[in-house]
Amino acid sequence: MLALLKLLQDGRFHSGEALGAVLGVSRSAVWKQLQGLESELGIEVFKVPGRGYRLAAPMTLLDAEQIRLNSGLVDWPVFVESSLDSTNAEIFRRLDAGVRAPFVLLAERQTAGRGRRGRAWSSPFAENLYCSVVVRVDGGMSQVEALSLTVGLAVARALQACGLSAAGLKWPNDVLVDGHKISGILLELAGDPADVCHVVVGVGINVNMLVDASAVIDQPWTSVRQCLGKPMDRNQLAGELLRQLRTYFATHWRDGFAGVREEWEALHVWRGKPVALTAGQGATLGVVLGVDQRGAIRLEVDGCERSFSGGELSLRLRNDS
């Protein structure tokens, strides 16, 4: 089906006969694939007798070589799949199969995309970025301390480079624009946490998604397209993301989060805000002061400064319903 979709992505009419000739299949086989595009991928196809078939709107598919070129020739292998349950999950399967890190995996859609704390991540076909990068870490997991914050900074810089100057950071791993979530980050580890391990960095960015997906998202959100008022070339954004990740990974491996802490704080959009920090059923009320050298959130609680860290913590504005 992906080969057929590539022929249709220009948004123009193509006859079934012409499509079948290029693909080397019958017109009935083309028809079955068109039905698959609609039923399996949710892609609307217009069918007009005498003119043929076209997509409801032109579509630009992800292209591994174009992404690599846009990244400044980053030396990580880049793979693109049409559909996966989760790019992070597929990374783990490929590691188990012997694929060597580092490498990058993107998907046009995810059927079981995940965010922090098991939350679902909305993943419509060919609209957003669903990207995972895996790198090998020698010397134990202490090197990945606060890496999610460093990755968030890289994502924010990539968005800013593509025109979203208002992109800012929310602890621990969300990127916001005007209070609305535009990106989330999920880090997972594989291997020996005391020695050699791999860290899988999953990044989801709302790129061209519009309001139709709001019913499955449980918080205010936005997309690059909504912010800029026009569609964004995902290959350009993906390349810029890899460029920024490579730069900030290098700083983090050398200096830890301390090397980017001041830069992270400059984009911290909730500093000075009254918040509720929840863990399980309990909540701590305080005012955000910032983050420390290890990436923990610093809160003023009952007149005293306290620091908190942990993967199961959730931070919300106190007036956030």
- 140's CB contacts (< 8 A; 6+ apart) are 193, 194, 195, 197
* Architecture category of domain 2-55 in CATH: Orthogonal Bundle (1.10)
For 267, the token pair is 């984009």
Provide the pLDDT for residue 214.
45
Cβ(16)–Cβ(27) below 8 Å: yes
Q: Is 116 assigned a catalytic role?
A: yes
Query: How many whole angstroms separate alpha carbon 47 and alpha carbon 219?
Result: 37
86 known member of a binding site:
yes
What are 33-58's pLDDT values in tens digits?
A: 999 888 888 888 999 998 999 998 88
Query: Best-predicted range by mean pLDDT among 12-26, 119-133, 213-227?
Result: 12-26
Per-residue pLDDT tens for 154-168? 999 999 999 999 999
Residue 112 burial (C-beta neighbours within 10 Å; 0-12, 13-18, 19+): exposed
**Residue 271 annotated as part of some ligand binding site:** no
Task: Give the burial class of 144: count Cβ atoms within 10 A of its Cβ; 0-12 exposed, 13-18 middle, 19 or more buried.
Answer: buried
State the pLDDT confidence band at 114, using cuts at 50, 70 and 90.
low
Per-residue model confidence (pLDDT) at position 115: 54
The H or E element that residue 65 is part of is: helix 64-70
* Alpha-carbon separation of residue 180 from 156, 222, 228 (angstroms): 13, 6, 14
How long a stretch of residues is the chain?
321
Average pLDDT over residues 80-107: 95
Helix, strand or coil, per DSSP, at residue 56 = coil
pLDDT at 118 over 70: no
Please confirm, yes or no, whether 12 is among the known catalytic residues.
no
Which residues are 54's β-sheet partners?
A: 46
Reported as a pLDDT band with limits 50, 70 and 90, residue 280 is: confident
**pLDDT score, position 120:** 53
Name which residue leads in pLDDT, 98 or 213.
98
Shortest CA distance to 296 belongs to which of 242, 258, 248, 266?
258
Establish whether 15 is an annotated binding residue: no
Phi first, then psi: give them for residue 279, nearest 5 degrees.
Answer: -140, 110
Query: In terms of pTM, does the model score above 0.75?
Result: yes
pLDDT of residue 217: 58
Is 117 annotated in some ligand binding site? no
116 labelled as ligand-binding?
Answer: yes
128 is in an annotated binding site: no
What is the separation of C-alpha 90 from the centre of its chain, rounded to a whole number of angstroms? 15
Q: Where do the structural domains in the chain lie, given as residue ranges? A: 2-55, 64-266, 274-317
Sign of the Cα torsion 62, 68, 70, 71 reads positive
Residue 241 main-chain phi, psi, to 5 deg: -60, -45
Active site residue: 170, 181, 243, 261, which one?
A: 181
CA-to-CA separations, 81 to 37, 39, 147, in angstroms, rounded? 15, 18, 26
What distance in Å separates the CA atoms of residue 154 and residue 64, rounded to the nearest whole number? 20
pLDDT of amino acid 211: 63
118 marked as binding residue:
no
Instruction: Measure the CA angle with vertex 230, ends 228 and 235; round to 5°.
Output: 95
Inter-CA distances, 310 with 172, 175, 313, Å? 9, 18, 6
pLDDT of residue 1: 80
| pLDDT over 50 (residue 213) | no
How is domain 64-266 classified at the architecture level of CATH? Answer: 2-Layer Sandwich (3.30)
Alpha carbon 23 to its chain centroid, in Å, reads 32
Q: How confident is the model at residue 210 (pLDDT cuts 50, 70, 90)?
A: confident
CATH code, residues 274-317: 2.30.30.100
Residue among 54, 68, 109, 116 flagged as catalytic:
116
